[in-house]
Amino acid sequence: MKYMKTIGIIVVVILIGSCTKKIDVTSIDQIPGKWNWEATCGGYIDTCILSSKSNYASIEFTNGNYIEKHNGTVYLQTDYNVIKYDDNFGTLLLNNSNISRPITIVNNRLVISRDDFQDSYMKVK
């Protein structure tokens, strides 16, 4: 079941990525910058929610500061650190929020895991 979720995420990321200009991201070291949310997949019924003009989000990683916006409004702003396990895997630590999430670089995308869900982001700058 877990493999099916991972395969589903990879398929969605590839499909979304084939329609947009890509910034080459091959390592956790390339996290600083702005990332736009593309999809959230997983959960009990293993579905995906895609970003749209009326439902969008972004994350900015700058100078140790994490800013998450939903529909243009700041949702969370905190300091962050990344614990790197290798070029593609690590843990995102949101310091002031005491949140720790596994992260992965897959097909030029940042994938952040939240329980049974995986959020996929594309780097835009």
Answer whether residue 113 shows pLDDT above 70.
yes
Q: How far apart are CA 48 and CA 61, in angstroms?
A: 25
CA–CA separation, 26 and 44 (whole Å) = 30
Q: Are 125 and 34 in contact (CB under 8 A)?
A: yes
Task: Report yes or no: 121 and 36 within 8 Å, Cβ to Cβ.
Answer: yes
Pairing, β 33-42 against β 117-123: antiparallel
At 44 the pLDDT is 84
pLDDT band at 83 (very low <50, low <70, confident <90, very high): very high
Phi-psi region of 86 (alpha: psi -120 to 50; beta: other; left: phi over 0): beta
Q: For residues 33 and 123, is the Cβ–Cβ distance under 8 A?
A: yes
What would the pLDDT profile of 24-72 be if each residue is shown by its tens digit?
Answer: 899 999 999 999 999 999 988 889 999 999 999 999 999 999 999 999 9
Domain boundaries, the chain: 2-123
User: CA-CA distance, 23 to 4, in Å (whole number)?
Assistant: 27
Tokens of 47: 């579905």
DSSP letter for 115, please: T
**Is 39:50 a contact under the CB 8 Å cutoff?**
yes
CATH 2.40.128 is the classification of domain 2-123: yes
pTM, entire model: 0.80
